[in-house]
Amino acid sequence: MAGLPLKGALQDGQLEIIENGGVVTDDGKIVAIGAYDDLLAAHPDIDMDKPMQPSVLLPGFVDCHTHICFDGTRSRDYAMRIAGKSYLDIARAGGGIWDSVTKTREVKEVTLMESTVQRANRHFQEGVTTIEVKSGYGLDMASEIKMLRAIAIAAFHTPSTLISTCLAAHMKPRDFEGSEQDYLQWVLHELLPLLKENDLTKRVDIFIEETAFTASVATPFLQAASEMGFDITVHADQFTAQGTEVAVKVKALSADHLEASGDKEIALLAGSDTVAVVLPGASLGLGMPYAPARRLLDAGASVAIASDWNPGSAPMGDLLMQAAVISAAEKLSAAETYAGLTVRAAKALGLTDRGALQVGMEADFQAYATSDYRDILYYQGKMKPITVWKRGKKITML
Ligand code: NIG
Ligand code: FE
């Protein structure tokens, strides 16, 4: 991934593959990379992890969009969905985001923390060394803080880096008296200052959709959050195209979903520094089309791939499998797919210190038991890493 352009289409010939290579790490960072024999000659006394078999070493994956802090499942919603019920039928039967809010509100912070750790650990074993985690199933002061605290504490109990985002603007909670606009004012003037004061998150997200918040109320909200110093990301164009325009206007780090994006939205993203994050797990979970990743890349956008792991629309949470599936459907090259899981996903989080095997970067990487990197996508996610390192430390999990 070293030196790959952060925007636009990529060909596999652009991948820099080091045969018989090695990496030297110190204090959690990569300090040298190159031919194994040369590195050994230069560092004769070093502690070594030499694999037992030929392996492909990749940078750790960055999952730049998840909702892995939640309680309860929504398998009832899923059963209704595959039986052909509409979004509205499911909501009327007590399903949807509000169901997860009710369950997440009821549970203790420590329980929420533990289940977040379990999901983060599963992700880590599958090579995901940095994970963004959103709030958004609390939607009141105490419960949003509970979620963000649970994420912050979970970060001490998993090898993965966890990066939190406040998604209090997921939907207007049913028990809030007032309009969508009133609710966003409450988030802006009551919740966000407290989160800032307590250093509970640096990022703010919003779900822009007819059923959540429209572009016209979202724009001033995001502008104000940005002025407060928060990084911005947007749930955009999932069912109707209206979020991307706002995301680009407020210079969001990323616009995520994009299943309903058209030519106009693609051109806006291509002409901006906002990363287009596609979420194949949500397409699979909802039985809906994929985001136009191929067209986004050809237009010149930066495309990242994330899992959207959540109890409702994307319960699977297998990032590599989802990336393999969208790459086959959308015709993404291996280089585009891996860039979307690493450097470009790091860019979506505003991180420049990870996502490539390159001197100075975090020493986060994963080894696969094959000598041909093409095998990994070929097996469509069934080939998992045999070893994962975080900040240069080999982590063995039970
Ligand atoms: O990214 N689109 C909105 N939010 C989530 C779904 C959350 C849920 O259904 O619980 C998403 O798909
Ligand atoms: Fe999401």
Q: Is the CB of 255 under 6 A from ligand 1?
A: no
Q: Based on the number of CB atoms within 10 Å of its own CB, is 263 exposed (0-12), middle (13-18) or buried (19 or more)? A: exposed
Q: What is the pTM of this model?
A: 0.98
pLDDT in tens, the chain (398 residues): 999 999 999 999 999 999 999 999 999 999 999 999 999 999 998 888 888 889 999 999 999 999 999 999 999 999 999 999 988 889 889 999 999 999 999 999 999 999 999 999 999 999 999 999 999 999 999 999 999 999 999 999 999 999 999 999 999 999 999 999 999 999 999 999 999 999 999 999 999 998 899 999 999 999 999 999 999 999 999 999 999 999 999 999 999 999 999 999 999 999 999 999 999 999 999 999 999 999 999 999 999 999 999 999 999 999 999 999 999 999 999 999 999 999 999 999 999 999 999 999 999 999 999 999 999 999 999 999 999 999 999 998 75
Top-level class of domain 61-348 = alpha beta
- Ligand 1 atom, smallest distance to 311 CA: 10
Q: Is the CB of 387 under 6 A from ligand 1?
A: no
Which ligand is located closest to the Cα atom of residue 312?
A: 1
Evaluate whether 73 touches 61 at the Cβ level (below 8 Å): no
User: How distant, in Å, are the alpha carbons of 247, 253, 264, 302 from that of 269?
Assistant: 9, 11, 9, 8
Alpha carbon nearest to ligand 1 atom 3, residue: 207
Q: Is the CB of 125 under 6 A from ligand 1?
A: no
CATH of 12-58+354-395, one of 3.40.50.300, 2.30.40.10, 2.60.40.10, 2.40.50.100: 2.30.40.10
Q: Is the CB of 312 under 6 A from ligand 1?
A: yes
- The Å distance, Cα 323 to ligand 2 centre, comes to 16
Evaluate whether 344 touches 275 at the Cβ level (below 8 Å): yes
What residue segments make up the domains of the chain, in order of their start?
A: 12-58+354-395, 61-348
- Ligand 1 atom, smallest distance to 137 CA: 10
What would the two tokens of residue 164 be? 């939190």
| Sequential DSSP letters for 132-182 | EEE--S--SHHHHHHHHHHHHHHTTSSSSEEEEEEEEETS--TT--S-HHH
Q: Is the CB of 308 under 6 A from ligand 1?
A: yes
What would the two tokens of residue 223 be? 């502008």
d(CA 73, CA 314): 11
Most ligand 1 atoms within 8 A of CB, residue of 97, 102, 134, 290 to mutate: 97
Q: Is the CB of 97 under 6 A from ligand 1?
A: yes
Give exposure, 179-202, as e/b (b: 16+ Cβ within 10 Å). ebeebbbbbbeebbeebeeeebbe
Q: Is the CB of 207 under 6 A from ligand 1?
A: yes
- Ligand 1 atom, smallest distance to 256 CA: 1
Q: Is the CB of 313 under 6 A from ligand 1?
A: yes
d(CA 328, CA 350): 28
- The Å distance, Cα 238 to ligand 1 centre, comes to 9
